[in-house]
Amino acid sequence: MTVTFRRNIARMEGYVPGEQPQEPGYVKLNTNENPYPPSPEVRKAILSEAGERLRLYPDPGATALRRQAALTYGFDLSRIIAGNGSDDLLAMVAKAFIGEKDAIACAMPTYTLYDTLVRIQGGKFIGVPYPADYSLPKALAARKARVTVVASPNSPSGTAVPRGVLAALADAVPGILVIDEAYADFADDTALSLARERENVVVLRTFSKSFSLAGMRIGLGFAHPGIIEGLNKVKDSYNMNRLSIAAGTAALADIGWMEKNAARIRKTRQALAEALPSVGFAPFPSQSNFILARRARGGSARPAYEALKRRKILVRYFDTPRLAECLRITVGTDRETAALIDAMKGIR
Ligand SMILES: Cc1ncc(COP(=O)(O)O)c(C=O)c1O
């Protein structure tokens, strides 16, 4: 092939999303989707938007969704931006802040898209290992990166960093701190208020997990108006389509529906954490809608992943040194959890 890509694009691997089987019949516990349906209000809102109006471009500012978010979370409209999933918001951060000489620093292991985005920009990725207990590594601020990203709760560990620790990190970093709160609705604590209290903090939320809307692609970013202004310069003009704006607005207006589902998931999470040791896996404490569990006797978890897949149960396996002994298991319904534990008993 004679086409030449930018050097960093030619060199990098593309991001590999989790498996999304297109045939039915799987118990799908691999990409942290919600096992319960979204609010019925979402369906109504989509149907009412899905007619004649589709011939018109959507509102480039997704104002209806942002207004509802302002109301729900108590933020000024100027501090909110909407994204086509939080991945879109992460890409905006990378575009706006990372050039060839700039770095993103993260505690590792974490969501691998951060690494991919910085490589697309031709910047530098700095990974600082989490200690065994997944407390925030002290060295993170010392790396003096332009952008520091902490997922809290973190994926794949499921562990969270206390708000006070994140506040101290925001004060210690020289650049901006992105707190990716994709799983915050399943946690005991949130650092959302830091987006109001600190000028260098961006907090990201997604509708893909707690709001059961992974298929719609909706995310929100909260930050100082100066940061939001910069992100708006790099965002696709019409990054939110009409149906996502309508769906997100309706989902937020009926937030009690989401909270009920999140409470059910937390309850099932407890049951799953209690059952895992009986099938030879030790769970890490989880604040999210998934559990990272490690083979109690050591050794690769790949055979367990593959045996479950043969039984049409999909979980996530990462073939990296730190995670090779682990499975990351999404918390499904009570029934799905029972099916998983049954299958794990069968393959031991
Ligand atoms: C930590 C983290 N951030 C962001 C995302 C992406 O969310 P979205 O579906 O909103 O793009 C995920 C999805 O798995 C995630 O685990």
Tell me: do 260 and 245 sit in the same domain. Answer: no
Helix (H) or strand (E) holding 45: helix 40-49
For residue 90, the ligand 1 atom closest to its alpha carbon is 4
Residue 86 CA to ligand 1 center (angstroms) comes to 6
How far CA 68 is from CA of 81, 92, 205, 266, in Å, comes to 12, 22, 14, 26
Tens digit of pLDDT for each residue in 269-327? 999 999 999 999 999 999 999 999 999 999 999 999 999 999 999 999 999 989 999 99
Residue 248 counted as domain residue:
yes
Tell me: do 191 and 326 sit in the same domain. Answer: no
**Is 45 within 8 Å of 247 (Cβ atoms)?**
yes
Token reading at 328: 């990351």
- Our measurement of the distance from residue 107's CA atom to the centroid of its chain's CA atoms, rounded to an integer in Å, reads 15
Per-residue model confidence (pLDDT) at position 321: 87
Residue 213 counted as domain residue:
yes
CB burial of residue 193 (10 Å; 0-12, 13-18, 19+): middle
Tell me: do 76 and 191 sit in the same domain. Answer: yes
Residue 347 binned pLDDT confidence (cut-offs 50, 70, 90) = confident
Domain span holding position 80? 40-254
CB 86 less than 6 A from any atom of ligand 1: yes
Total of domains in the chain: 2
Per-residue model confidence (pLDDT) at position 235: 97
Residue 294 burial (CB count, 10 A): 18
Tell me: do 217 and 89 sit in the same domain. Answer: yes
Tell me: do 66 and 210 sit in the same domain. Answer: yes
Tens digit of pLDDT for each residue in 47-89? 999 999 999 999 999 999 999 999 999 999 999 999 999 999 9
Residue 1 predicted with pLDDT over 80: no
Helix (H) or strand (E) holding 80: strand 80-83
Per-residue model confidence (pLDDT) at position 330: 98
Tens digit of pLDDT for each residue in 16-38? 888 898 988 899 999 999 999 99
CB 219 less than 6 A from any atom of ligand 1: yes
* Euclidean distance between CA atoms 279 and 301, whole angstroms: 12
276: domain CATH number is 3.90.1150.10
Residue 346 binned pLDDT confidence (cut-offs 50, 70, 90) = confident
* Euclidean distance between CA atoms 316 and 59, whole angstroms: 37
**Is 25 within 8 Å of 312 (Cβ atoms)?**
yes
